[in-house]
Structure 1
């Protein structure tokens, strides 16, 4: 499982700044708007209040009083309008940044090698794209702007308080250094809790993804494991409850101590300031203004002191997202990669080797050739390397030694996009989108006409069955095509490849899980599909590849036998044993 990167080691803060760089103009505008609002809300209002008490009242200046009262009425209107403008700019900025993060994550996940999806849990991936991104969204949309606003408001308030009375301001600050010391330490604890919380959420999403899909629900019900899975989910949910309670209580204890200080400090200012007013060393208006400023200062101070706590929690989210954004892209186009032109389909493996892990080779010295239009079958026991070999052609995995060539072009020397345009794949586990039959068939060619879609369906032996459905080609197939049988899904997958019309075809055990009738229909469709195409067929049922031009028998990553069906039977080797075993099992 991927682990979040370290903040200090990998420069998370620098990455955060880079995220906002394309929107530096909006950031600057937000800062200006917040500063204007802070000055009007924190500096002007107390000063107007002081002038009313110290000047308008003693001098009985009604004109000045009226003007100052009008100023007090106008200020909320102006600051309110400024807040609306600020919120609009802030929300749009946050949404643009979130859009960049979401699309960047999705694009990265589309670009990583296929092996990533064989090790990472689907629920973990979904959780990072949903729960983590949503958490970051809250930070960006409210946290950053509130942090900036409170910081500016606190600084402005402190300056005005200092100008009114320095000793009382110092008294107000009192225990502030203690809280400045505690805040980052509380934040570090919250950061760890936040990481644990997000991981627990990911575990819960993984459990949901595993047990609440059609296949998962069938597995659970089939083995009577409902209570067990419910208990697993309950345990994960209970862990989440404990983490969230711990997070809340840590923050509450910190805020309680601040709340006590918040109530003690004003009382001291009232007493000391009152003595100065009585001794005529401070005007009543200045004391009232100072207390008013103090009532504004402490809430903003509390928010500012919460910044380390909020930032640490947010960093845990960003680290998890950056871990995905930093996933290595193993298979990339070379700088001099060319577009693969129209091909005939001449396929050549030149002494190819590949391994998933060091010192554990999956393929060893694979060497064979297929002329255009020929069928080459890969057979052998499970784990022999058949699928791995086939998946080197479209570069789902990258050749480590040797070379895979199409019409003399090394597949690593051409662009992946142009390479995949010439390759079609039909797998044993057919995946259909929860969309209409037409949309599934036309997935590779959305612009295809209805006539072309239906022609592909006829060739795949599925057209008549589609017409029997209530909505024909507009029938929605359900999650993973569950409304269709296995054979029907497989024929739709064949129609999808027929419509794409590739020159090279990879069949990955396309009929191994079907009944005899469905297999016969699929074989008819495959015969149509293979016409004029170079076919690399991974076969479990040897009866399906008897007419192959070349059969390669693989075992432990090597080609141990090669030839046509009759030749291999005469060799009395692994192929002959596999064939006899399948005859006896019928």
Structure 2
């Protein structure tokens, strides 16, 4: 039932202490230093490690890919026979029948045609006096067609299986990130703009999915194809194969040099993407205040700067990585020219057949093509790994302290709360609470007052274990709250903050949020007790009224009433009200005071209030200044003491603006 984390006074206090948060306003966080470039190798290895749960399917994918590559590699070698059959038939038709192949070659040498004689002598499918053997040619072509058909079928099965593996992996990654977010301590979110966190959870994971989907299959296929093509080239001609292999080191050097420069740009691109999202999210959330204060131009300038940084990083990343593919194509074409020239010379010398040269050229093209594809995928791989690293940063973030291995269970809590020598600070260099002692008996109503930044909301946040103590302990019914599970502790506490939180759903669902098993009658009773029922009845759809994502179809006061009804329905042992009536009108506030009295009966309550009229009947009033309790007692006792509480009370009800001004002036002079 936690409506939020910090009140406005706490945020103001943090602003005074130093920049503890990132994203305090529109455009905040743009000046964050650029992160170091990603460790591509380590991050890529970890990304591939996500596939480990589906290792059996991955092994099958690799096997099917290997089968398809082998079949595709055999095709050109067999197809070379068809070329030799046609070429041999062309020469055999022009040689008289009855003359042997050796005789024909010797006759050509006698005429001085040594080159042509060498070619004739080396032909495997030459039959003097006979043309093309179309029967043998048809068998070869049918065999090749069957091989390619099977290879295509295997590739289709492999692609379908890979899609399943990748989507399941991303599903598990999203689940792990969601679980991790639930285990992160609240200080982590205090330091991160919401737009930045959302960008990592949505944009970056989507980019990882796209990169895996587009590159994993092609990368695996390309690497296996390179191996298969190298083997086949060595089978045909080791000499030409060595010439073709010169392409590999050249390709590796080009890819490494260009890729290293592009990786930095991709890291910057996704970092600036998160910043732009943070600015848009914050600007949209506070668009009313931005218009009220006339800061549209400044907000636009902040966005334009971040958008321009994103443009420059994105352009740089795509431009640099885009150089790889045309460079690789140029290297591949040079390799093709060299092989074609050398192959022609070997055919002329009779050391290779025309079909073998044709097959070798085809293999060399299929050899350089995967290298070019890998190079062209470099931008996708680098972008995906950069996004993966940002997601891994969330997964690697320090989690909240572990729960007790043998947690205590409070079956019937009474609500006795004690703070014993409590120390806490948001920043170790700026202590906030030191040696705080407090004891609250069951059923008491404790009001906490004090100037902005005194630590009032911090006190209840520590009770909720939103933050861990630096020293001392807090007990509930004599049990250290660290010995309870967080869920067990918070299930006993109801909390209503001045910053209301309602989710998209019906009013009924929002009231029952803290107690989903509540009956319709119990929901209505809670609504009646907190004066929600009176305005709900005026709505056309009553309790079935659907609240939008911003709950803008009800007023601010009505939102507050719904959150109070939610706490009322949960019936907690401890109740925390942090300026819970700040958004309602005076008449509604008076009505709510009666509802609050009923809500606070028989349970321990902590009430944080600036309007002292709302806490006059509290059993104990704590006055806090600079993280310490400077006064405590009832309303009457504290007024008679004439201390800090009396000054706060007089500033509200005596109407002495002059006194306040004099006090502020004296404070500045001192």
TM-score normalised to structure 2 length: 0.83
Match of 1:287 in 2: 357
CA shift for structure 1 position 14: 5.0
Distance 1:526 1:572 in 2: 28
**2:524 is equivalent to residue 454 of structure 1:** yes
Farther-moved stretch of structure 1 (28-37 vs 6-15):
6-15
Distance 1:149 1:14 in 2: 18
State which of 37, 50, 56 in structure 1 corresponds to 2:68.
Answer: 37
Match of 2:547 in 1: 477
**2:175 is equivalent to residue 103 of structure 1:** yes
Contact 1:343–1:407 (Cα < 8 Å) also in 2: yes
Match of 1:137 in 2: 209
Say which SS state the counterpart of residue 368 (structure 1) adopts. Answer: strand
Match of 1:164 in 2: 236
State which of 469, 486, 492 in structure 1 corresponds to 2:556.
Answer: 486
CA shift for structure 1 position 310: 4.7
Distance 1:412 1:212 in 2: 39
Match of 1:444 in 2: 514
Match of 1:19 in 2: 50
Match of 1:199 in 2: 271
Say which SS state the counterpart of residue 480 (structure 1) adopts. Answer: coil
- How is 1:541-560 mapped onto 2 (pairs within 5 angstroms)? 541-560=611-630
CA shift for structure 1 position 204: 1.0
Say which SS state the counterpart of residue 432 (structure 1) adopts. Answer: coil
Say which SS state the counterpart of residue 558 (structure 2) adopts. Answer: helix
Contact 2:244–2:335 (Cα < 8 Å) also in 1: yes
Distance 1:318 1:18 in 2: 12
Distance 1:203 1:348 in 2: 43
Contact 2:560–2:584 (Cα < 8 Å) also in 1: no
State which of 246, 271, 275 in structure 2 corresponds to 1:174.
Answer: 246
Contact 1:183–1:306 (Cα < 8 Å) also in 2: no
CA shift for structure 1 position 5: 7.9
Larger radius of gyration: 2
Say which SS state the counterpart of residue 377 (structure 1) adopts. Answer: strand
Farther-moved stretch of structure 1 (231-240 vs 469-478):
231-240
Higher relative CO (Cα under 8 Å, sequence separation at least 6) belongs to 2
**2:592 is equivalent to residue 562 of structure 1:** no
Contact 2:268–2:313 (Cα < 8 Å) also in 1: yes
Contact 1:363–1:557 (Cα < 8 Å) also in 2: yes
Contact 2:185–2:467 (Cα < 8 Å) also in 1: yes
Farther-moved stretch of structure 1 (231-240 vs 416-425):
231-240
Match of 1:239 in 2: 309
**2:407 is equivalent to residue 337 of structure 1:** yes
Contact 1:5–1:322 (Cα < 8 Å) also in 2: no
Distance 1:167 1:198 in 2: 47
CA shift for structure 1 position 305: 4.1
State which of 467, 484, 491 in structure 1 corresponds to 2:537.
Answer: 467
Say which SS state the counterpart of residue 357 (structure 1) adopts. Answer: coil
CA shift for structure 1 position 513: 4.0
Match of 2:77 in 1: 47
Say which SS state the counterpart of residue 479 (structure 1) adopts. Answer: coil
CA shift for structure 1 position 440: 1.0
State which of 320, 327, 330 in structure 2 corresponds to 1:257.
Answer: 327
Gaps of 5+ in 2: 1-21, 23-31, 90-124, 127-131, 657-670
Contact 1:5–1:323 (Cα < 8 Å) also in 2: no
Are the structure 2 counterparts of residues 250 and 11 from structure 1 closer, same or farther at C-alpha, using a change threshold of 3 Å?
Answer: closer
TM-score normalised to structure 1 length: 0.94
Match of 1:277 in 2: 347
Contact 2:222–2:371 (Cα < 8 Å) also in 1: yes
Are the structure 2 counterparts of residues 469 and 301 from structure 1 closer, same or farther at C-alpha, using a change threshold of 3 Å?
Answer: same
Distance 2:150 2:289 in 1: 63
Aligned-CA RMSD value? 2.2
**2:388 is equivalent to residue 388 of structure 1:** no
Farther-moved stretch of structure 1 (374-383 vs 311-320):
311-320
Q: C-alpha offsets along residues 468-501 of structure 1, whole Å, 9 cap, x if unaligned? A: 1121112122233222122211110011112211
Are the structure 2 counterparts of residues 95 and 116 from structure 1 closer, same or farther at C-alpha, using a change threshold of 3 Å?
Answer: same
Contact 2:208–2:385 (Cα < 8 Å) also in 1: no
- How is 1:60-99 mapped onto 2 (pairs within 5 angstroms)? 60-99=132-171
Distance 2:321 2:188 in 1: 38
Contact 2:251–2:371 (Cα < 8 Å) also in 1: no
Farther-moved stretch of structure 1 (410-419 vs 332-341):
332-341
Are the structure 2 counterparts of residues 140 and 256 from structure 1 closer, same or farther at C-alpha, using a change threshold of 3 Å?
Answer: closer
Contact 2:279–2:303 (Cα < 8 Å) also in 1: yes
Distance 2:191 2:612 in 1: 31
